[in-house]
Structure 1
Amino acid sequence: MSTPRIHTPRTDSLRGVFARHRGRLLLTVLLLWITMLAGTALLGLSGGFLTAAALAGAAGLGSGFNFFSPSAGIRGLTMARIASRYFEKLVGHDVTLRIARDLRVWFFRRALPLAPARLAGVRTGELLARLMSDIGEVDGLLVRAIGPLLALGGISLVAVVSAALIHPPAALLLSVLALLIGIGVPWLTVRGAGGEERDRAWHRAQLRAQAFEGLEGAADLTALQAREHWNQRVLVAAKQLKSRDRRRRWRLIGGNALHGLCAAAGLLAMVWVALLGFQRGALDAAMAAALVFLTVALLELWAGIGLAWQSWLSGRVAAVRLEQIVEQAPGVAEPRDPVPLPAEAALLSVEHVTFQWPGQARRVLDEVQLQLRPGERIAIRGDSGSGKTTLSSLLLRLWDPASGYVRYGGVDIRQFSQAEWHRQIAWLPQNAPVFAGSIADNLRLGDPQASDAQLWQVLTDVRLEAWADQLGGLHAWVGENGATMSAGQARRLALARALLRGSPILLLDEPTDGLDMDTAHALLHDMVAALGGRSLLMISHDVLPEGIVHRSYRLREGRLG
């Protein structure tokens, strides 16, 4: 059998989301560095100035003391710190919000093509956890990790160079402290914590999944008197996550305690180096005091480096979890050179199609053959699990058959662009959702450009015009999951959305499931009247009334008869 050439489409990466904002990221780091530099220089200059002023006053040397230059420097550094701090917060939060927006768009853009083939095995709560918790960890990397670490590295380098110009032994001591506190202590704090962070992220996702599924299934849990049991499961998951959080906090507390010991020892060592330098005449009292105050400022800045490293580790774990979802290969591949679709409605044929799910030997479909002519209506019946929904997935090209062909107008649908092929089919799934929004919002998912007149016409076609008018018109709110609608009304609204799409083929999967017989038959007759010349392939296990379809087949054990 001939197979069309396929290729993997060029897609952006997680790193590319940050790269698009590199200008604002660099500006934020620069402003943060300026803020740290101004604060450190301010403390060092103030300490040296106050020491020199005290010594000058005690010695009666007020007439020769330079008061104006240091005080002007202090005022300038204060204003610089205030200004840089303001703009650092402004730019930093702006770019963080932009990254948060783009990360969610990126995740949806990469994940949606994987549905349902690759996402079928992932719990909805797990996806929700990755969308909320993991993206939250990643989009805060700038303000919690990347910015502070880069700025601290830059300010440490400037401080060491400045200290070397004043007193080289002090620069050597600052270098040792920078390596010890900036790298050694964080390494000891986060050493081996990668596995713990992955475990914590997993338990966080489990708690979200349990809570989400409990809310989604609240009605069933109440009916089965299982709410208390489920609440206990959520409580257990919360306690397990709490123990991981407590372990993480103790690790950070241990790192802070170790940092404090190193800082105290380092400060005493700098006092000793400064006094020794003053005693030997290598530097005056003001410079000696400036070195001590410079060390105090650096130690204060370095206090947050452990938390920054921890945030970096958490962000890396979250990024890996996101990429585990979106880096999966799609269930089907796009053709390298798509073939244009026929200009007019054409024959849809299923030829000797065989399919089994990955990793399973049983054939769900076995040598299935079917033809759907333009304007023809066909029903495929069968028991649950007989392969009806699988056949609809192949027609939608959510999967490709293991052997055989699905052709449209004589062309294998694998040679069409997926987007173009999906425009040929209006699909009404078994559990077609009604989204939180207005009637018009739900309908325009079928055709975003539809006019109000077209919306009213399609509502008339499915006998929902009076209901919509009574509710308040096209802009009336229907509630989440159609909370303000009956099951029949929700199904009719979903059918109207599919009809509005205007595709030449309408594919319905159990359109009357859950409806009483009278409602179901009324819905089917209205649908046939609204079809016009479009083709219909309906998958159902119900007995259909006369006149709904031209031909009916039954699917048994993967074979169509």
Structure 2
Amino acid sequence: MKLILQFLKPYRRLCLFNILAMLLDVAGGLLVPRLTADMINIGVESGSLDYMIGKGIAMLAVTVLSGAGALIGSWLCADLSAKIGQDMRNAVYEKSLTFSEHDFEQFGTGSMITRTLNDINIVQQSVVWCIQMVLPVPAVCVMGVGLAFAIDRVMGVLLIAVTVLIIVLAVLVTRKASVIFERLQRLLDRMNVVLRENLTGVRVIRAFNKEKDEEKRMRKTFEDYAETAVSANLLFAGLESTAFFVINICIVAILWIGGDRIGAGFMEIGDITALTEYSIMILFYIIMAQMVIILLPRARVCIGRIREVLEKEPEILDGEDSIRSPMKPAVEAAVFRDVTFRFPDADENALTDLNFICRKGETTAVIGGTGSGKSTIAKLLLRFHDVTEGSIFVGGADVRNIAQNELRSRISYVPQKAWLFSGTIADNLCYGNENASEREMRRILSVAQADFVSSLANGLDAHVAQGGTNYSGGQKQRLCIARALMKKADLYIFDDSFSALDFKTDAALRKALKEEVADAAVLIIAQRINTILNADQILVLDEGRIVGIGRHEELIENCPVYREIARSQMKGGGEVG
């Protein structure tokens, strides 16, 4: 509830207008029975047509005002819900941007999407329900009972008794229902997990002939959910039947006791109509509020999941004294000094005692086996993780003392997995430079050996599907490289970004790249020897340690690990030299 109030706070005026519209709707709904009673008691009895026309016009006016209140209230409520949802989504998204890679992995991509879309949708719907169904209950009860007392004190007491009874029953049923719906939500989450595991792991299931075992597990999960859902539906059915029963009993009590009061001269016939309408309206709102409250446990779970994201303290934060203004250029673009890194909860270091320098005008390459920690170097430079020991310097300053925005503004990065955003090729290139001209885009595409763009029907405006799935692996890599080159940086990092290119394209791209970023430092992380043959220095990683550093020719002579990698990649396993 505290989280909802936090997001409602900026819209206090809108909340007030919602309440006023709701009161107008409720007041109109309660005044119509009073006017009907007067029309019966005075107009019908006296036979005055003018009086009845006057009351009819008054009823019409009240109905119009009540309808206007309901319409305006619905519009304001929808507006408030939409604004809260927008603010929540922005808050979750902005918070996710502060997460380190480990922070993000704790939630998972699928969970973050669910929290941002589905969970917030449920919270929005709950806000609408509460404003339209729950919030009017106190006003309806107080005003309805007050008008009943104005008619007759005994009938007012009767209405209070009925109202208290139905509220007590509603509380008891809600407690029972909350347990059922909380279990239903847990089973729904469990069903999603089991279903996702079976769909994503279908090949493993088939490979181990475990179809029947998984089918049993799925059936058990679905049956548990179905049984609980049946219990929930039975509860709603019982609630509906009980509601109609209580309303009918209340009407009978009003007619019975009211008849006695009319006979005693304390009431008139029209008052019975008004009292019946008041009781039905009060009971209707209480029962509708009860149904909403029963469904709130699901919203409470969603609010808790949203709160987990918003209250998560990021592992990596900018300090108050972090450098936020542009730094002076330095020849040493990046320096690793005694760097050791261990992933959270890991038993062993991913990187140990790394020392090397990336200088402007030079190409530094990193090579090693799978899991040797090559990509982790790039992530440490971008400060997706913080070092466990040692220091990394960019532009002469420790990266932990540089604001993350300022740090990343000095680095251009091509990730290991080539990823393009949906839109057009031009849209993707503009990620590197928002103000880039068409001429500049075409020049950079030529450097990235992405000349195929000119042969596309729409050229730079060619459509890009989500993730770039409508392009081949090599085309995606070249477009990602072009996007990185659009950004002017001190350090360019290419994380296995040439793996899908043929040798000829690879060589042409590296030649053009050397001319394009001659004044910057280049860090190439690669699996293929051919990609890094001409690098100014090559780091050879083995189990997170540098076991060799130097040029290709030096490493062939002095580094057994590098020599073995080179031999395994040369045709026929011949001598490398």
Same fold judged by TM-score > 0.5?
Answer: yes
Equivalent runs, 1:138-537 vs 2, <5 Å: 138-181=123-166, 183-191=167-175, 193-194=177-178, 196-205=180-189, 241-339=225-323, 340-347=325-332, 348-537=334-523
Is the counterpart of residue 550 in structure 1 residue 536 in structure 2?
yes
**Runs of at least 5 residues in structure 2 that lack an aligned partner in the other structure:** 548-577
The letter for the 2-side match of 1:119 is F
C-alpha distance after superposition, 1:124-163 (max 9, x if no partner): 3333322232111111122212332112221221112222
What is the CA distance between 1:115 and its match in structure 2?
A: 4.9
1:212 shift after superposition: 7.3
Which secondary structure state, in structure 2, belongs to the residue aligned with residue 375 of structure 1? coil
1:17 paired with 2:38, answer no
1:525-554 Cα offsets, whole Å, 9 max, x none, are 443343232111222232134654210111
Distance 2:508 2:152 in 1: 92
Taking a change above 3 Å as real, the CA distance of residues 65 and 281 of structure 1, as seen in their structure-2 partners, is farther
Q: Is the 8 A contact 2:430 2:483 kept in 1?
A: yes
User: Greater shift after overlay, 240-249 or 375-384?
Assistant: 240-249
Question: Matched residues in 2 for 1:179 and 1:469: separation?
Answer: 77
> Is the aligned partner of 1:40 residue 2:30?
yes
Counterpart of 1:456 in structure 2: which amino acid?
R
For 1:384 and 1:115, locate their aligned partners in 2 and report how far apart those are by CA, in whole Å.
23
Once residues 126 and 276 of structure 2 are traced to their aligned partners in structure 1, the CA distance between those partners, rounded to angstroms, is 32
- Corresponding residue number in structure 2 for 1:3: none
Which shifted more, 323-332 or 196-205?
196-205
Q: What is the Cα deviation at residue 366 of structure 1?
A: 1.8
* Pair 27,221 (structure 1): closer, same or farther in 2 beyond 3 Å: farther
- Closer/same/farther in 2, CA of residues 64 and 32 from structure 1, 3 Å limit: closer
Q: Retained in 1: the 8 A contact 2:99–2:316?
A: no
- Sort the Cα spacing of 1:391 and 1:199 in 2 relative to 1 into closer, same or farther, 3 A: farther
AA of the residue aligned to 2:116 = L
Deviations 1:443-490 (A, max 9, x none): 112222323232222112112234244331221102232233111110
In 1, the alpha carbon distance for the partners of 2:6 and 2:442 equals 44
- SS of the residue 1:532 aligns to: coil
State the Cα distance separating 1:300 from its structure 2 match: 3.0
Deviation at 1:79, TM superposition (A): 1.4
Change (3 A) 1:100 1:113: same
Q: Which runs of 5+ in 1 are unaligned?
A: 1-11
Letter in 2 for 1:407: F
Contact 1:103 1:139 in 2 (8 A): no
Match of 1:28 in 2: 18
Indicate yes or no: 2:122 matched with 1:132. Answer: no
Does structure 1 conserve the Cα–Cα contact (< 8 Å) formed by 2:177 and 2:235? no
1:114·1:330 contact (CA, 8 Å) conserved in 2?
yes
1:463 to 1:227, Cα distance in 2 relative to 1, 3 A: farther
CA shift, 1:223, in A, is: 11
Where 1:103 maps in the other structure, the secondary structure is helix
- Looking at structure 2, the residues matched to 235 and 496 of structure 1 have their Cα atoms a distance apart, in angstroms, of 50
Which residue identity does 1:450 align to in structure 2? A
Distance 1:384 1:426 in 2: 24
CA deviation after TM superposition for structure 1 residue 224, in Å: 7.8
Cα–Cα, structure 1 residues 464 and 213, in superposed 2: closer, same or farther, change >3 Å?
Answer: farther
> Retained in 1: the 8 A contact 2:326–2:406?
yes
Superposition deviation, residue 522 in structure 1: 4.4
Equivalent position to 2:60, from 54, 71, 75 = 75
* 8 Å contact kept, 2:21–2:72: yes
CA distance in 2, matches of 1:364, 1:199: 41
Structure 1 residues 172-208: Cα deviation after superposition (integer angstroms, max 9, x where no partner): 3333333333x42332233155555444445545666
TM-score scaled by structure 1?
Answer: 0.86
Q: CA deviation at 1:227?
A: 13
Contact 2:15 2:80 survives alignment (8 Å):
yes
After the TM superposition, which of the residue ranges 516-525 and 133-142 deviates more from structure 2? Answer: 516-525
Q: Distance in 1 between matches of 2:482 and 2:218?
A: 39
Q: Matched residue of 2:463: which SS?
A: coil
CA 1:20 to 1:221, structure 2 compared with 1: closer, same or farther past 3 Å? farther
Measure, in 2, the Cα distance between the counterparts of 1:238 and 1:492. 46
- In the alignment, the residues of structure 2 paired with residue 179 and residue 522 of structure 1 have an alpha-carbon distance, to the nearest angstrom, of 83
Which range moves more in the overlay, 496-505 or 233-242?
Answer: 233-242
Aligned partner of 2:572 in structure 1 is: none
Structure 1 residues 466 and 386 mapped into 2: Cα distance closer, same or farther (>3 Å)?
Answer: closer
Q: Tell me the CA shift for residue 69 of structure 1.
A: 4.1
Distance 1:422 1:114 in 2: 15
**Residue pair 1:356, 1:363 contacting (<8 A) in 2 also:** yes
Deviation at 1:63, TM superposition (A): 5.4
Partner of 1:91: 76
**Counterpart contact for 1:125–1:210, Cα < 8 Å:** no
Q: What percent of counterpart residues are identical?
A: 22
User: Residue 545 and residue 436 in structure 1: after superposition, are their counterparts in 2 closer, same or farther (change >3 A)?
Assistant: closer
Q: Is the contact made by 1:430 and 1:513 (CA closer than 8 Å) also made in structure 2?
A: no
Matched-pair contact (CA < 8 Å) for 2:372–2:542: yes
Amino acid across the alignment from 2:121: G
Per-residue CA deviations over 1:496-523 (Å, capped at 9, x if unaligned) read 1111121211122221345554454444
Structure 2 distance, partners of 1:463, 1:14, is 52
1:4-60 Cα distance to aligned partner (Å, 9 max, x none): xxxxxxxx9654333223322332333233223312322343255346555x2xxxx
1:103 counterpart letter in structure 2: M
Query: Residue 322 of structure 2 aligns to a residue in which SS?
Result: coil
Following the alignment from structure 1 to structure 2, what is the Cα–Cα distance between the partners of residues 534 and 327? 39
Partners of 1:69 and 1:441 in 2: CA distance: 66
Structure 2 Cα separation of the partners of residues 429 and 509 of structure 1: 5
Cα gap change, 1:459 to 1:237, in 2 (>3 Å) = farther
RMSD: 3.3
- SS for the counterpart of 1:132 is helix
